[in-house]
Amino acid sequence: MPAAQLGGKPALPDDTAWPEWEGSLNFVASIDCDRLPPNTLDIALPDSGTLLLFYFDDEAGYHDPLYVPPTVGSWNPDSATGARVLHVPSGAPERDTPLDIQPYEYVPLTAKPTFTGPDWSHPAFREACRDVSDADQAFLADHANGDAFVSALRRLTPSPRHQLGGHSVPIQDAAETAHTTLLAQFDSDSEADMRWGDLGTLFWMIPPTDLAAGDFTTTSFTWQCT
């Protein structure tokens, strides 16, 4: 049995509305919490139920040609509800995709543990280097000096990189902040007909205390591409 899926139809309870923003949000992925490898994650996911991840993809809907919908991202605070995470009970019926959006192709995903490391720009990495010499601080301040380090991290996980927890594998700067941890990231994936900009990646982050409490309403979102 798959532990997660890309695209297809979400298992959405009858009394739960399909998320909307400037239109219906696109269903990106679901994660069956009770099918994940036990005692392997570094984040406190629920023991049961399903996480559903949605995102308003302005390139995958049937929009008014005279109106260009805005792009969802951390740079646009007004788009905060353009990406959502829902935690629903297991066993809900599948819901057909609303007519104003185009569904992604269904791709089943298995889960396996892996190692990750902080990106050059990750707040934890910067904090660990806080007491180094002025010369080393100047070296760290030049992001170009991290290119080899970032490339080495990316080679540890071949593309497409779909991930729960751990440290983000960013294209630009680390997706996490000093107050959030990575919940999930999903790469562009040709099998699911998902393409985020120029082969980019979607990131969902959440404060660890809210994650432990099962409160996914504070989840934040961004995406990056080259």
Domain extent, residue 140, equals 117-156
Q: Which two tokens stand for residue 57?
A: 């993809």
Cβ contacts of 156-161, under 8 Å, gap ≥ 24: 156/114, 156/115, 156/116, 156/117, 157/114, 157/116, 159/187, 160/186, 160/187, 160/188, 160/189, 161/185, 161/187, 161/201
* Whether residue 130 sits in one domain with residue 106: no
Query: pLDDT of the chain along its 226 residues, tens only?
Result: 789 999 999 999 999 999 999 899 999 999 999 999 888 889 999 999 999 999 999 887 766 677 778 889 888 888 999 999 999 999 999 999 999 899 999 999 999 888 888 877 888 888 888 888 988 888 877 878 877 776 776 777 778 989 999 999 888 888 999 899 999 999 999 999 999 988 899 999 999 999 999 999 999 999 998 8
* Whether residue 133 sits in one domain with residue 47: no
* Whether residue 176 sits in one domain with residue 152: no
* Whether residue 179 sits in one domain with residue 197: yes
State the pLDDT at residue 62: 66
State the pLDDT at residue 121: 81
State the pLDDT at residue 6: 97
142 vs 121: CA distance, rounded Å: 10
* Whether residue 47 sits in one domain with residue 17: yes
40 vs 113: CA distance, rounded Å: 6
State the pLDDT at residue 222: 94
What HEC string does 172-184 produce?
A: CCCCCCCCCEEEE
End-of-domain residue from the set 97, 127, 156: 156
* Whether residue 171 sits in one domain with residue 148: no
* Whether residue 105 sits in one domain with residue 65: yes
38 vs 49: CA distance, rounded Å: 14
* Whether residue 108 sits in one domain with residue 177: yes
Residue that the structure tokens 């989840």 belong to: 219
* Whether residue 140 sits in one domain with residue 50: no
* Whether residue 166 sits in one domain with residue 152: no
State the pLDDT at residue 10: 97
State the pLDDT at residue 63: 67
52 vs 2: CA distance, rounded Å: 15
Cβ contacts of 214-218, under 8 Å, gap ≥ 24: 214/46, 214/87, 216/51, 216/85, 216/86, 216/87
Q: CATH number, domain at 64?
A: 2.30.320.10
* Whether residue 128 sits in one domain with residue 204: no
State the pLDDT at residue 130: 82
Q: 50: which residues sit within 8 A by CB, 6+ positions away?
A: 11, 30, 31, 32, 33, 87, 88, 89, 90, 92
End-of-domain residue from the set 156, 182, 215: 156
State the pLDDT at residue 49: 96
End-of-domain residue from the set 156, 182, 208: 156
* Whether residue 122 sits in one domain with residue 27: no
Number of domains in the chain: 2
